[in-house]
Amino acid sequence: MSEQAKYRLYGLTAVACAAWLIQVIYQASGTSELWGWPNIILYVCLLLVITYTAYSAFTGWKKWKAANDADDEPKEVPPVIENEISNSGKIIIRRSALVSKQPAVATNGIQQTAEIAKDQI
């Protein structure tokens, strides 16, 4: 089961137990057994389950959301491009994309530099 499914299940359990508690209180008020010992024990148990599952769903969802938001941010570093002119007059362009998810692309400034170097040869 994935983490997201687990937190949804906690939330669904909290909602179902809250509905059950409301139904039990409504039913007990009609029979004048609202404050009988068995009902009080049931109320306390349901309140504990509701509190635990709602808290677990909320904190787990926050952790899951924070982890997914961190994954969505691009960790992009601009590519390093070096130009060299060899002894024979040819232009050597070395590209290395460090952490970039996109391939390194020469910009107009680098292309102009390469054209100027060609003209000087």
Number of domains in the chain: 2
% of the chain residues with pLDDT over 90: 39
> Each residue of 71-120: pLDDT tens digit?
665 555 555 555 555 566 666 665 554 444 444 455 545 555 555 555 55
Same domain membership, residue 20 and residue 47 = yes
Same domain membership, residue 41 and residue 10 = yes
* Domain of residue 31, residue span: 3-72
Same domain membership, residue 96 and residue 68 = no
Indicate the Cα dihedral angle 105, 109, 113, 119, nearest 10°: 110
| Cα 95 to Cα 107: distance, rounded to the nearest angstrom | 12
Same domain membership, residue 87 and residue 41 = no
Same domain membership, residue 111 and residue 92 = yes
Same domain membership, residue 16 and residue 58 = yes
Assessment of whether the complete model's pTM goes beyond 0.75: no
| Cα 78 to Cα 96: distance, rounded to the nearest angstrom | 10
